[in-house]
Amino acid sequence: MKKIFLKLFLIPILSTSIFANNIKDYTKNSEVQEFINELVKSYKFEKEKLAELFSKVKTQEKVLKYYFPTKEIKTNEDLRKLKKSRYGTWDDYEERFIGDERAKSGALFMKKHKKELLKAYKKYGVQPEYITAIIGIESQYGKHTGAYPVFDTLTTLAFEKNSRNKFFKSELKEFLLHTKRNDFNPREIKGSYAGATGMVQFMPSNLKKVAVDFNNDGKVDLNNEADAIGSVANYFYISGWDKKIPVATRVSYQGKRFEKFKTGFKYKYERIELVGIKPRSKNFHYPNKVHLVRLDRIKYDELWYGTKNFYVIGTYNRSTYYAMAVYQLAKKIKSEYKKLI
């Protein structure tokens, strides 16, 4: 199957309070006027309803600081420093996302939604524990789906100066189209400070592409468990997931810090090239090229091989830490689930 590259531009939801925002009339902005006219002409929106929406926008000034250029990454050391500034060490990231409680909650989620997860596995070929792990990391199984008003957030990011105006204007259009298709009130939907929504935190541009009405109620609602499960499975399927191959395996190397080869999603290697590196497990059977994944611990670097499936997880969020967290949480969830049956 031809690989479809889907970027969600997801950002983990911050547990932070939303400060008072200014109410602004965006209909006075000529760019917004053009935007409204396009929606009316091309997608048959009602101009009066759009004018009412854009006349009372609570500008989300706090979100703008996340969308300005960052320092260029040229070396492994630059990447190490950036990861530390964003996530801390792998020890910190692991504690935050792969704890025992999250795994136990995931096992309970799997038990409760066994029917939907089995249906998704049969249709899309994605194992239940990986679907569950995504939902667990993105929203703690639906407990934390975001506190920012999505319409106000996307309008702010689309029309207030920042490094991603064009991108967020497109996302705003897709968000409004989604609410129109499903008869949702745009003002009632909450999400992340990037505009991602639901239990699985999809960006609006991915809603039509991969989100599915998995419970057949006529609406795509990613705050509904069945739709969330089906949508994650469909995303993995479209992105090239293969249930027959492994995801990752830890490898050995000489020393405590690894700098010999470049690591991350940009680079793939034939295993024969990686002299001095070998899997710790004898059960890793994967003949194709691998990614090298470096996890920066406090006292040493942990090194892994990542397969095509590891890359698929990484298309959901372009971070090797994120993909590794999904992989390891999925394994823990499956182990905890076996205790329940």
Q: What is the pLDDT of residues 173-193, one digit of tens each?
A: 999 999 999 999 999 999 999
The contacts found for 45-53 with CB under 8 angstroms, 24 or more apart, are: 45/176, 45/180, 51/27, 53/151, 53/186, 53/187
Largest CA distance in the chain: 67
Contact 176, 196 (CB under 8 A): no
Q: What value does the mean pLDDT take over residues 297-326?
A: 97
Residue 155 pLDDT exceeds 80: yes
> What pLDDT is stored for residue 103 in this prediction?
98
- In this prediction the pTM is 0.88
Question: Tens of pLDDT along 248-277?
Answer: 999 999 999 999 999 999 999 999 999 999
Q: What is the rounded CA–CA span in Å between residue 39 and residue 46? A: 9
- Residue-level pLDDT at 65: 85
Given 138, 171, 174, 336, the catalytic residue: 138
The confidence score (pLDDT) of residue 79 equals 53
Are the C-beta atoms of residues 180 and 43 closer than 8 Å to each other? yes
Q: Is residue 83's pLDDT more than 90?
A: no
Between residues 274 and 82, which one has the greater pLDDT? Answer: 274
Task: Answer whether 176's CB lies under 8 Å from 83's CB.
Answer: no
**Residue 72 annotated as catalytic:** no
What local confidence, expressed as pLDDT, does residue 78 receive? 60
